Amino acid sequence: MKINPIMPIWLMSILCVVMLCMKRKGAWNYVRQILIILLLFALNLRIMVHTHDVEKRELDIDVLFVVDDSMSMLAEDFDGEGRRIDAVKSDCEYIMEKLSGARFSVISFGNLAYRLTPYTDDTNAVMTALKSLEGQTQYYAKGTSLNLPFAIVKEALSVNRERNPERTQILFYFSDGEITAKNEKLGSYESAAEFIDGGAVIGYGTEEGGRMKVHSYEGDHGEPFYMQTRDNNGRLVDAISHLNEENLKSIADDMQLEYYLATDETSIREVILDITDYLNELATSDMNGTEGYSETYFWFAIPLVGLLIYDLIYYKRRLKG
């Protein structure tokens, strides 16, 4: 079971408490009021249960996630003190949910660029690959190059277009835009644009920047510590990673995609809102079913409607009386 609240739980809780304080006269009236509020709260939670009988929805769409897994993505400045890389994982999960039935592939880059998964409709495998991304360690990190993933990204797109010319190709590029590799200048992504039908470049972080908690090396099971560097006076200070929107906007322009800045967990909804309707037109359904999560809102909606109808009739009669 999992939940996917329509409205933030804390906000719905406040509204429910306010409604409970507006106590009706009469025991049965107040009981109905409590039941209605509880049903509204449960409905808002959008509880989903695991099942093996979910309608399988197929999209002739291939989605490529390109994820910056450099040390700077460990910076703690997303929507307060959240890690950038965790926000990326959450946003990828949201995209996969909204584009259910599509195929997904993941490319990550740090010191090197890797194809973590081929195109697949197994979202559990894709999510496992994404969850493995934890940034670079202190002794392994060698600086960030945004040019690093270009060759493997273009190859993945061009090969897939050749093999599956009928499928729409969507690309999402997740990064903070920071370049820390020595003498590195941002190259062009323009030649990849011909293979991309839509998507977005999404930026994470702030201009003020954030500190990064890191491990010393791969397999280090000790507590992470804040990465440090030396200032102009030679003193050890916490290293700060800053968002570079100029680089990200340049990449977006090259690939003819929109650029968005992710500032909180709701930002991703705006990112895919414009393309969802168009993509849904390409969807087909298979009634054989598959493993997944099923909506349960109707369990709460039916008694809620029943109680509201009862209330309407009850108070209408009282007014006439």
Residues 76 and 48 in one domain: no
- Give long-range contacts, CB 8 A cutoff, 24+ apart: 9-13: 9/44, 9/45, 12/40, 12/41, 12/44, 13/41
Residues 119 and 267 in one domain: yes
Q: Which two tokens stand for residue 100?
A: 């259910």
Q: What's the mean pLDDT in 119-123?
A: 95
Angle at 64 between CA 59 and CA 70, to 5 degrees: 155
301 and 226 fall within a common domain: no
d(CA 185, CA 38): 57
Strands 82-83 and 103-109: unpaired
Whether residue 20 is found in the same domain as residue 113: no
* Same domain, residue pair 304 and 263: no
Q: Do residue 212 and residue 115 come from a single domain?
A: yes
Taking residues 138-154, report their average pLDDT: 87
Residues 148 and 271 in one domain: yes
Based on the domain organization, do 8 and 137 belong to the same domain?
no
pLDDT digit string (tens) for 184-240?
899 999 999 999 999 999 999 999 999 999 988 777 778 889 999 888 888 999 999
Dihedral-angle region of residue 15 (phi above 0 means left; psi in -120 to 50 means alpha; beta otherwise): alpha
**Do residues 30 and 112 both lie within one domain?**
no
8 Å CB contact between 258 and 252:
yes
Are 15 and 140 members of one domain? no
Grade residue 293 by pLDDT with cuts at 50, 70 and 90. Answer: low
Q: By residue range, what is the domain housing residue 292?
A: 2-54+288-320
Count: domains in the chain: 2
The whole-number average pLDDT for the span 78-84 is: 95
Both tokens of 210, joined, read 């954030």
Q: pTM of this prediction?
A: 0.72
Q: Considering the chain, what percentage of its residues have pLDDT values greater than 90?
A: 58
Question: 40 and 155: one domain?
Answer: no
3: enclosing H helix or E strand = strand 2-3
Write the CATH number for 107: 3.40.50.410
Do 135 and 71 meet the contact criterion of CB atoms below 8 Å apart? yes
Using a pLDDT cut of 70, give the percent of the chain over it.
Answer: 90
Structure-model confidence comparison of residues 234 and 4, the more confident one: 234
Contact 59, 102 (CB under 8 A): yes
Please provide the size of the chain in residues. 321
Euclidean distance between CA atoms 228 and 129, whole angstroms: 29
Contact in structure between 193 and 255 (CB atoms under 8 Å): yes
The verdict on 208 and 143 lying in the same domain is: yes
Beta bridge partners of 78: 82
56 versus 256: the higher-pLDDT residue is 256
The answer to whether the CB of 32 falls within 8 A of the CB of 311 is yes
